[in-house]
Amino acid sequence: MVRVRTEALHSTRLQIVRKLGQAAEYRDNETGMHIIRMSKIAARIAQSAGWDIDACDLMLNASPMHDIGKIGIPDAILLKPENLSQQSGRS
């Protein structure tokens, strides 16, 4: 029973991470594709470093969270085509 509940909890956590990743993808399609590529590469690097299968799986599923902060960035900044610059009058 403990194992079943632990697996259910693990599955729920993965669903949350994936949904948050999808939310970031909705903001910027390039971010969504980057997240998929980056998470697969991170898991392969972990495997090459000798991590066990569970740790590699954790890396694959947790690494998409590295860009989650983009969800709260205004489109005017996130999608700005030119370089960002300091605003005058701010210190």
Q: For every one of its 91 residues, what pLDDT tens digit does the chain have, with 9 covering 90 and above? A: 998 998 898 888 878 877 777 776 666 666 667 777 888 999 999 999 999 999 998 898 888 887 777 778 888 887 778 887 766 445 4
Q: Where are the domains of the chain?
A: 2-78
Q: What is the pTM of this model?
A: 0.59
**Which residue in the list 19, 40, 70, 80 is annotated as catalytic?**
70
pLDDT value at position 47? 97
Residue 29's pLDDT is 64
Cα separation, 70 vs 45, whole angstroms: 25
40: annotated active-site residue = no
Check: CB of residue 64 under 8 Å from CB of residue 35: yes
Tokens read off for 69: 């902060």
Q: Which residues contact 66 (CB under 8 A, 6 or more apart)?
A: 38
